[in-house]
Each structure stands twice: as C-alpha cells, then as structure tokens.
Structure 1
Amino acid sequence: MKHGLNKQDPSSPGIERRFMIVLFTVLALIVVMLLTSINTGIVTLTPVEVLKTLLGQGTDRQELVLFQFRLPRIVIAMLVGAGLAVSGGVLQGITRNPLAEPAILGINAGAGLMVTLFVAFFPVASGMPIYALPLLALTGGGVTAAIIFGLSYSRSEGLLTTRMLLVGIGVAAAISAVMLLLTLGMHPDKYQFVVSWLAGSIWGTNWTFVLALLPWLLILLPYVYSKSQTLNILSLGEQMATGLGASVTREQIMLLAAAVGLAASSVSVSGGIGFVGLVAPHLARQLVGPRHQLQLPVAACIGALLVLTADMLARWILQPTELATGVVVAIIGAPYFLYLLAKTRV
C-alpha cells in the first residue's frame, strides 16, 4: 500500500527524458481528442471549418456551435479532469493509499450536498450564484473532509489510512441518503438536474462556468506542485517524515484542504464524476515513477485526457441524446478500482 521512492534521482537525464516523452505523448493525445471532440455532435465541423471559424471567417451558425457550445464544454472537461486527477494524487500521497480518491472518500458527496441545496433555492442558470457555487461546494467538501479526518486520526498512531477509506465510504453513503430525501420534494425540472448531476453530467457548458472554476485551479494547482517534495516525504511514512523534520499533521491538513478545494470546485460544475482521481495518478505513477514533481503534471494531463475522451464518447454513442460523462468514466474506472483492490492488501 505504501509508495516507495524511486532510487534514481528524479533530475537524472534518463528519468527526465522518460518524463518528457510521456508528457508530450499525453499532450499530443489531448490535441487529437480535442479536435475530435470539436467535430462530435449533431452539427459537424471539419478541421478547415474550425480553423476558419477561429480566424473569424466562419458562419454565424459555426461560430455559435464552436464558441458557445463546444469550446466551453471542452475546456471545462479538461480543467475538471486535471483538478480531480491532482486531487486524487494528493490524497494518495498523504494517505499512502493507492485506493484514495475524492469520490471514494466522500468529498464529492459533501460537495454534491451543497450543490443540491443550491439547486433547491436558486435557479440553476442564475448569474451570481454560479460564481459562488465552487465556494459552496468547497464548504460541503471541506466539512465532509474534516469529519472524515477527525474520525480517522489517532494521537498515538497519526492518520489511519484504512480507517479513512472506510469512514469516507460510510459518510458518502449517509450524505447520498440525505440528498435523496432533499430531492423528493423538488420540482421535476430541479429533480432531473440533481439526478443528472449525480450521474456526472457536465452541466457547466458556457464560459461563465469556466470563469467560476479557473481561479481555483490557478491558485491550488501551483500550490500543490510547490509541495511535491513534501508529498515525497509524507509518502515515506509518518515516522520517517517526522525524522526528516516535516510537520506531518500540519502538512497533511494543508494538503488535504488543497485536495478538497480542487475536487469540490471541479465537481461543482461537472457533476459527480468519480474514479478520475483514482485512475489518473495511478497511471502517472506507473509511467514516470512515484516522485510527485513528475507524477502530478502527468496525472493532470491524463485526467484532462480521460474526462475529455469520456465526454466526447458520451455525446457520440447515443446521438442525438447523450450519456452522462460520469457514466462513461465509471465504465473505465470501476473495473480499474476492482483491479487495484485485488492487488492491494488493506
């Protein structure tokens, strides 16, 4: 369950070369999938038409489809994927548990509870509450994380990672039950919205939602990356980290808060998408090793690619209707979770 550190220096030419190859490969796949996603939908746009539209030479219809419908959703999908992936990487680092991720630990459920309360009292398309939505989701996810951390922490033994996983699953189930009760008295339109949100349907599909999410990621992603070495030390175990001079509890709380912020702000505009924070960091660790300086950027790109691909498939499989993006991600992530569970001795 514990992540060992690579014996090789992460700055060595071999590791740097492998990191750059992996990173540019994933970025190239993102570009390919981005172009594919732009052309996926009832209205098709050829690459030439996309280029002309970007240069201001497209028709009014092409500009409407590209700038008001396709691009905002694509940007949201990539930002959400990156945010959830890095959040999962942080949670796995501080708990030393490869099964940890925001959805499994109940953080997404806490954020979802606040989203449900928001929908119950505000129109889902109203202006100002949209910018407050990540903050509301952060409050719900933060309170949930505090409860889980408090129930999983022992003064004598520190953070009990196995208990944290089990407590998170239990808290998530309890919150889901509360959300179900809240939806019973809702107007059918709002009920349908909540159900779609829980399934992981990306509902923030205009530039307003991009602007609501972007500041959170611009602040939290650099902060988490700046703590890469701290995550490396915490991955050694609490006794070793303490011996190396790390303030373990303080660093765990700060990094947990950052992980909650990334996950809550992401799901506030994307719906309850799970498993991205599980799959992306694990694949990144397999590709470039356990050093977080290398792992986190690759995980962010893999997460962006995963959600972008899942969203494209969700819009393509059942045209003209669409699946929830979270359903497609779950089809990929659930078997992978079972595979990791079978490999991990809890």
Structure 2
Amino acid sequence: MKPIAMRSSEAQSRRRAYIVAAILFALILIVFFISMNTGQIKLAPQDVLGTLFGFGTAHQELILFKFRLPRIVISVLIGAGLAISGCILQGITRNALADPGILGINSGAGLVVALYIAYFPLTSAAPVFLLPLLALLGAAATAALIYGLAYKKRDGISTTSLLLTGIAVTAGINAAMIVLTIRLNPADFQRIATWLAGSIWGTTWKFVLALLPWIVILIPYVISKARTLDVLNLGETTATGLGAPVKSEQLKLIAASVALAGASVAVSGGIGFVGLIGPHLARRLVGPRHRFLLPVTALAGALLVLVADTVGRVILPSEVPTGIVVAVIGAPYFLYLMARSKA
C-alpha cells in the first residue's frame, strides 16, 4: 500500500489538475462565445443565442454556421493537437525546447500541403480529406530525416543534436518553400502566402470532419500512454532498467506526435509555438506527471489558438493571421527559454 503522505500528495495533485482543467474549459467556453460575436460583421449576444436555438435570420445563420463556427471549432482542435504533439516531444527528448514547429515537422507537413494546394483544386470533398494524409507523409519524412541526421551510432541521439538538426532542416524546407512560391502565378502565390502566415484557411465543416478523427483518436491514445511518458522522461537507461520497451514506445509516441502535428498543419497553415507554450503553461500549473499534464496541455493549446484567432480577427480592420498573433507571444517566450537553458 502507498504511504499516507504519498496518497495525500497524489490526491492534492489530482484535485489541482481538476480545478485547473475546469478553469481552462470555462475560459474556452467564454472565448468561444465571444468569438461567435466578433468579426467584421458583429452579432449581438442575443442574436447569437437566438441563432443557435433556431430563431435567427437566414443572414445570421449564414454568418454563424457557415463561416464562424467551423473556424472556431478548428481553432480548438488544432490548438489541442499541436500542444499535445509538443508535449510528447518534450517528454521523449527531455528537452524543454522541443516543438513540432521548431524541429521542422510542421514545415515538412506544410511543404507537401503547399505543393498540393498550389497545383490541385480543393473543390471536392475527397481532396479535403486527403490533406491530413499528405501532411502526415510530409511530417513523417521530415521526422525520419531529422532523426537519421541526428542519430550517432556510439552515442545514440542527443537532445541538442536533435534540436540543431531540426532547425537546420526547417531552414532548408523554408528555402524550398520560397523557391516554390516565386514560381507560382499571383493567385496561387496569395493562397500559399496566406497559408504560410498561419491564417486558418480551412474554415468549412469539411475541414472539421477531416481533422476531427485524428484528434479524437490520437489524443486519448496518447493520454493512455501517460505512465509510459513518465518513465521515458527519466531517460533511456533508467526506463530500460525499469523494464520499459523504450524503442518501440518511443516510435509509437513519435508517430502519434507527427500525425497530430501533420493533421493540424494541414488545415491551420504555418502556426508555430503552440507545441512549445501549451506544455510549458500546463507544466507550471499541474506539474510534470503526464496523466495530469496531457489533458491540461490540450486545453491550454486550444485556449491559446482560440484567443489568438479571435484577437487576430478584431485587433485591426483587416484580419491578422492567427500564426502571427501566436508568434508575437511565442517568439519572446522561446528566447526566454533559450536564455534560461543556458543559465
């Protein structure tokens, strides 16, 4: 049996996690409702409520159900997906700076998606549902390349070499993206530029349905692996000594991280830093145990992207891409973490 002090500490951690999760969920609901009211065409709160219950005009239903709600739902989904992806990478690598955007996974997924939307129309349902699969291929290829370049036969893979290799590969992919964009016609160039800025461009229910299965299947799977992540976070030697199948579990979790990041990027565009900020914020609130950390990370990421998207739609007369708003928050935080890690 567990000592009384240990059981008491676990109960306190669980209670704190429940309280934090409830607060974050309440904030998401509040921002969700505010976001339904805001935009270039404003809807009063009573109009939003009336429209939700079927008493709105045809114009109000068009604005709310066709344009705003899909985008709001997608913001929540991609925020949760990117944040969980970053949390997995930070747990496996034991590196506070690990993030699918910084390591190049987002860029790899984005390059494949950009190639596709530049040369093929998205007028039918099939291409929309194909986007997460294409993004997964790009993200997986990039992750394999980074892992292969960073791996050393004698020393294995270090977090520093993984981070530096990821940054270098990201630079190469961004260069390839520039070459791609300058060869496009003006209309296609505008589409890719909008995507690169992190403007949530998949704003129909088709994109919601394309992304939803990846989120509702993979996030519960990752949460079920919370104890495994706790063990892996102790280091490969310790985890192996405790009897954990380190290599196979790492591959499964990395595959889940890549899939979450790729599927999210496929409909969100180049939004970075969510996988960095979400886990850090959650870790400060509930501690490092992944059974509490992962759900709170998902809520924190969802709240971050939803707030950024809402602010981007109201801060200026012309819309500011969500990725830029997140970057304004994330870039200084990344520099802070870099400085702190060197201290």
Please indicate the TM-score interval, normalised by the length of the shorter structure: over 0.9
Q: Name the structure 1 match of 2:338.
A: 341
Residues 237 and 308 (structure 1 numbering): CA distance in 2 closer, same or farther, change over 3 Å?
same
Write the mapping of 1:197-346 to structure 2, written as runs, cut at 5 A.
197-319=195-317, 321-345=318-342
Q: Name the structure 1 match of 2:46.
A: 48
TM-score under structure 1 length normalisation: 0.95
One-letter identity of the residue aligned with 1:180: I
- From 95, 100, 106, the equivalent of 1:108 is 106
Q: Which deviates further from its counterpart, 267-276 or 122-131?
A: 122-131
Verify the 8 A CA contact 2:118 2:192 in the aligned structure 1. Answer: no
Offset of residue 45 of structure 1: 1.7
One-letter identity of the residue aligned with 1:342: A
Residues 8 and 61 (structure 1 numbering): CA distance in 2 closer, same or farther, change over 3 Å?
farther
Offset of residue 99 of structure 1: 0.2
Offset of residue 10 of structure 1: 9.3
Aligned equivalents of 2:283 and 2:152: distance in 1? Answer: 29
SS at match of 2:310: helix
Offset of residue 43 of structure 1: 1.8
Verify the 8 A CA contact 1:200 1:326 in the aligned structure 2. Answer: yes
Residues 9 and 257 (structure 1 numbering): CA distance in 2 closer, same or farther, change over 3 Å?
farther
Q: How many residues align?
A: 339
One-letter identity of the residue aligned with 1:64: L
Write the mapping of 1:158-197 to structure 2, written as runs, cut at 5 A.
158-197=156-195
Write the mapping of 1:78-97 to structure 2, written as runs, cut at 5 A.
78-97=76-95
Q: Which deviates further from its counterpart, 42-51 or 28-37?
A: 42-51
One-letter identity of the residue aligned with 1:85: A
2:96 matched to 1:98? yes
**Structure 1 segments unaligned to the other structure (5+ residues):** 1-6
Q: Which deviates further from its counterpart, 307-316 or 39-48?
A: 39-48
Offset of residue 117 of structure 1: 1.1
Offset of residue 156 of structure 1: 3.5
SS at match of 1:154: coil
Offset of residue 120 of structure 1: 2.4
Aligned equivalents of 2:8 and 2:149: distance in 1? Answer: 36
Q: Name the structure 2 match of 1:4.
A: none
Over residues 18-48 of structure 1, what are the superposed CA-to-partner deviations in whole Å (9 max), with x where a residue is unaligned? Answer: 1111111111111111111111112222222
Q: Which deviates further from its counterpart, 65-74 or 13-22?
A: 13-22
Verify the 8 A CA contact 1:158 1:238 in the aligned structure 2. Answer: no
Verify the 8 A CA contact 1:281 1:295 in the aligned structure 2. Answer: yes
Offset of residue 9 of structure 1: 5.9
Aligned equivalents of 1:211 and 1:117: distance in 2? Answer: 22
Offset of residue 294 of structure 1: 0.3
TM-score under structure 2 length normalisation: 0.96
**Structure 2 segments unaligned to the other structure (5+ residues):** none
Residues 329 and 63 (structure 1 numbering): CA distance in 2 closer, same or farther, change over 3 Å?
same
Q: Which deviates further from its counterpart, 34-43 or 281-290?
A: 34-43
- Structure 1 segments, 4+ long, off by >4 Å, are 7-11
* Identity %, equivalent residues: 58
Q: Name the structure 2 match of 1:3.
A: none
Aligned equivalents of 2:101 and 2:11: distance in 1? Answer: 37
- What is the alpha-carbon root mean square deviation over aligned residues? 1.5
Over residues 129-183 of structure 1, what are the superposed CA-to-partner deviations in whole Å (9 max), with x where a residue is unaligned? Answer: 1110000000000000011111222343333111000000000100111111111
Verify the 8 A CA contact 1:10 1:291 in the aligned structure 2. Answer: no
Verify the 8 A CA contact 1:112 1:140 in the aligned structure 2. Answer: yes
One-letter identity of the residue aligned with 1:275: F
2:133 matched to 1:135? yes
Offset of residue 341 of structure 1: 0.8
2:62 matched to 1:73? no
One-letter identity of the residue aligned with 2:96: P
Offset of residue 11 of structure 1: 7.5
One-letter identity of the residue aligned with 1:179: M
Over residues 39-67 of structure 1, what are the superposed CA-to-partner deviations in whole Å (9 max), with x where a residue is unaligned? Answer: 11122222221111111111001100110
